[in-house]
Structure 1
Amino acid sequence: MSKLNIDQKTIFDRCSDKKADFLIPDYQRPYAWEYAECQTLWEDIFNFAFPDNDYSRFDSDSDEYFLGPIVTFVNDDKKMEVIDGQQRLTTLMLLLRAFYEKFGMMQDDNSKKTRENLEKCIWKTDEFGTPDKTRLKIDSEVATDNDKEQFVNILKSGIASDDMKSNYANNYRFFQKQINDFLQKFPSYFSYLPTRILNNCILLPIEAESQDTALRIFSTLNDRGLPLSDADIFKAQFYKYYTKKGGKDNFIKRWKALEEQTSKIFHPITGTPMDELFTRYMYYERACQKIKSSTTEALRKFYEKDSYALLKKDKTLDDLESLCDFWNDISNQDKERFNEAVLRRLYVLNYAPNGMWNYFTSVYFMQNKDANGKLDDAKFCAFLTKITAFIWTYAIVNPGVNALRTPVYAEMVNLIEGKSVEFTDFKFEPATVKSMLNNYYFSNSRPITKSMLTWWAFHDENQPLLSLESVYEIEHIFARKRQENESSLSNSGKLESLGNKVLLEKKINIRASDYRFTDKIKYYKGFTNDKGQYKEGTKIIELQGIANNKSDYTEADIDSRQETIIDSFIEFLKQNNLTK
Structure 2
Amino acid sequence: MSKLNIDQSSIKKLFEDKKSDFLIPDYQRPYAWTEAECQTLWDDIFEFSFPGDDVTKFNADEEYYLGSIVTFKNENNKKEIIDGQQRLTTLMLLLRAFYCKFGNMKDEKSIQTKDIISKCLWKTDEFGKPDMNELKIDSEVATDNDKEEFLSILKNGDANNLKSKYAENYRFFQKKINQFLDEYPSYFAFFPIRILNNCILLPIEAEDQNTALRIFSTLNDRGKPLSDADIFKAQFYKFFEENGKKKEFIDQWKLLEEKCDKMFNPQSGTPLDELFTRYMYYERAKMGIKLSTTEALRKFYEKNKYALLKSETTFENLIDLSEFWQDVYNQNEERFSNDVLKKLFVLNYAPNGMWTYFISVYYLHNRDNKGKLRNEKFYDFLNKTIAFVWAYAIYMPGVNALRTPIFNEMVKIVNDQTIDFGGYKFDLSQLESMFNNYEFSNGRPITKSMLAWWAFQDENQELIELDKKIEIEHIYAKNRFEKEASLDDAKYVDKLGNKSILEKRINIRASDYRFEDKKKYYCGFTTASGKVKEATEIVSLKQLSNKDDFLQQDILDRNEEIIKAFMNYLKENNLNIN
**Normalising to structure 2: TM-score of the pair?**
0.99
Cα distance in 2 for partners of 1:399, 1:318 equals 36
CA distance in 2 between counterparts of 1:182 and 1:257 reads: 43
- Following TM superposition, by how much is the alpha carbon of 1:530 offset from its aligned partner in structure 2, in angstroms? 4.7
What does 1:373-384 correspond to in 2, within 5 Å?
373-384=371-382
Question: Distance in 1 between the 2:256 and 2:317 partners?
Answer: 12
CA contact (8 A) 1:354 1:401 kept: yes
Counterpart in the other structure of 2:345: 347
Question: Does the Cα contact within 8 Å between 2:343 and 2:382 map onto a contact in 1?
Answer: yes
- Aligned to 1:70, the other structure's residue is in SS state strand
Instruction: Tell me which residue corresponds to 2:437.
Output: 439
In structure 1, what is the Cα distance between the partners aligned to 2:112 and 2:489?
86
Counterpart residue type for residue 257 of structure 2: E
Contact 2:51 2:57 in 1 (8 A): yes
CA contact (8 A) 1:437 1:566 kept: yes
Q: Which residue of structure 2 lines up, in the alignment, with residue 22 of structure 1?
A: 22
Q: Deviations over 1:322-362 (max 9, x none)?
A: 11110011010000000011101000000000000000000
Q: State which drifts further: 501-510 or 430-439.
A: 501-510
Alignment of 1:38-77 (within 5 A): 38-60=38-60, 62-77=61-76
Aligned partner of 1:9 in structure 2 is 9
Question: Cα offset for 1:189?
Answer: 1.5
Distance 1:530 1:260 in 2: 47
* Whole-Å separation in 1 of the counterparts to 2:241 and 2:508: 59
Letter in 1 for 2:564: D
Contact persistence 1:124–1:131 (CA under 8 A): yes
- 1:229 is matched with which residue? 227
In the alignment, which residue of structure 2 is the partner of 1:128? 127
Q: How far apart in 1 are the matches of 2:528 and 2:43? A: 55
Cα drift, residue 466 of structure 1: 0.3
Aligned to 2:168: 170
Report how many residues are paired: 577
CA displacement, residues 214-253 of structure 1 (integer Å, 9 cap, x when unaligned)? 0001111111121000000000000011111111111111
CA change 1:510–1:17 in 2 (3 A) is closer
SS in 1 for 2:106: coil
The one-letter code sitting in structure 2 at the alignment partner of 1:201 is C
Separation of aligned partners in 1, 2:508 and 2:207: 60
- With structure 1 as the length reference, what TM-score do the two structures score? 0.99
Structure 2, unmatched stretches of 5+, are none
Q: Is the Cα contact below 8 Å between 1:481 and 1:512 reproduced in 2?
A: no
**Distance across 2 between alignment mates of 1:291 and 1:509:** 45
Contact 1:510 1:523 in 2 (8 A): no
Aligned mates of 2:499, 2:69 — CA distance in 1: 54
The alignment partner of 1:518 has SS state of helix
* 8 Å Cα contact 2:471-2:507 kept in structure 1: no
1:98 maps to a residue whose letter is A
Q: CA deviation at 1:13?
A: 0.5
Per-residue displacement from partner, 1:233-286 (whole Å, max 9, x unpaired)?
000000011111111111111111111111111111111111011000000000
Residue of structure 2 in register with 1:90 after alignment:
89
**1:25, CA displacement in angstroms?**
0.2
For 2:20, the aligned partner's letter is A
| 1:278-427 correspondence to structure 2 within 5 Å | 278-427=276-425
1:527 CA displacement: 2.1
Please state if 1:559 is matched with 2:556.
Answer: yes
1:338 maps to a residue whose letter is F
Cα displacement string for residues 80-136 of structure 1 (whole angstroms, at most 9, x for unaligned residues): 000001001000000000000001111111111110110111000011111000000
Partner secondary structure for residue 232 of structure 2: helix
3-state DSSP of counterpart to 1:203: strand
Does the 8 Å CA contact 2:321/2:364 hold for their aligned counterparts? yes
Residue 504 of structure 2 corresponds to 506
Structure 2 partner of 1:146? 145
Q: Could you tell me whether the CA contact under 8 Å between 1:34 and 1:167 is conserved in 2?
A: yes
Kindly state the Cα deviation for residue 512 of structure 1 after the two structures are TM-superposed. Answer: 7.7
In 2, the alpha carbon distance for the partners of 1:285 and 1:472 equals 35
Q: Alignment identity in percent?
A: 62
- Aligned mates of 2:307, 2:576 — CA distance in 1: 42
Q: Distance in 1 between matches of 2:447 and 2:275?
A: 28
Name the amino acid aligned to 1:310: L
Measured after TM superposition, the shift of residue 515 of structure 1 is 2.5
Structure 1: stretches of 5+ with no match in the other structure: none
Q: Is the 8 A contact 1:238 1:311 kept in 2?
A: yes
Q: Which residue of 2 aligns with 1:577?
A: 574
What is the CA–CA distance in structure 2 between the aligned matches of 1:551 and 1:179, rounded to whole Å?
79
| Residue of structure 1 equivalent to 2:183 | 185
1:530-572: CA deviation from partner (whole Å, max 9, x where unpaired): 543211121000001112x012110010000000000000000
Q: Paired residue for 2:272, among 271, 274, 295? A: 274
Counterpart residue type for residue 537 of structure 2? K
Q: How far does residue 519 in structure 1 lie from its aligned partner after superposition?
A: 1.6
Is the 8 Å Cα contact of residues 9 and 205 (structure 1) preserved in structure 2?
yes
Deviations 1:491-545 (A, max 9, x none): 1101001000001101114458843111211211112235432111210000011
Q: Secondary structure at the match of 1:406?
A: helix
1:474 aligns with 2:435: no
